[in-house]
Amino acid sequence: MLDTLLSLINFLFNLFNKLPSETKEEIIKTITDAFREIFKKKNHSTKDMKEAAESVMDEQWEVTSTLAVSSFLPSNFSKSQKEKFSLSLIELVRSDKFLNELDKRLEKHKNLSEEDYINKSTLEMHNLIKEMLK
C-alpha cells in the first residue's frame, strides 16, 4: 500500500513540476473546491476526514478528476497521461495518509464558524497538496 502511494506521489511529482505555477494553482483549487462540501459535513459531525470523504461517491471523484483536472493540463500531455495524472491526484487526496494528516491539521480549526472552518480547511488542504508534491 505504501509503495503504491509512493509510486503515485513520484508520478504526480514528475508531471506536476513540469506545469506552470498558474496551472498548478488551478488544479489544486479544483481539488480543494471538490472538498468544500466534505469540510461542511466534517464541521457538523464527529467524523474524521476519511469518514467524511467516503460520503463522496467514486463517480463524483471520476468526474472531478477526468473532466476538471484534465482540462488544465497542457495539450502536449497525451490523453492517457492526463487521465493517469488526474486519477493519481484524486487517489492521493483520498489516501489514508493524506486524510489523516489533513484531519490533524484541521483539529485546530474546529471551533471556528462554518465559513471560517471551510476556508481554513481549504487552505490547509491546498498547502498539504503542495507539500506532498514538492
> Is the confidence at residue 93, as pLDDT, over 80?
yes
Question: Mean pLDDT in the chain?
Answer: 83
DSSP state letters, 12-72 = HHHHHTTS-HHHHHHHHHHHHHHHHHHHHHHHTSS--HHHHHTTS-HHHHHHIIIIIIGGG
Parent domain of 61: 2-132
Question: Is the predicted pLDDT of residue 2 greater than 60, yes or no?
Answer: no
pLDDT band at residue 116, thresholds of 50, 70 and 90? very high
Q: What is the share, in percent, of the chain residues with pLDDT greater than 70?
A: 86
Let me know how long the chain is.
Answer: 134
CA–CA separation, 28 and 69 (whole Å): 9
- What is the rounded distance in angstroms from the CA atom of residue 130 to the CA atom of residue 127? 5
Contact 128, 104 (CB under 8 A): no
Domains in the chain: how many in total?
Answer: 1
Residue 76 phi, psi (nearest 5): -80, -5
Q: Which three cell numbers stand for residue 47?
A: 467524523
Asked whether residue 57 carries a pLDDT value surpassing 90, the answer given is no
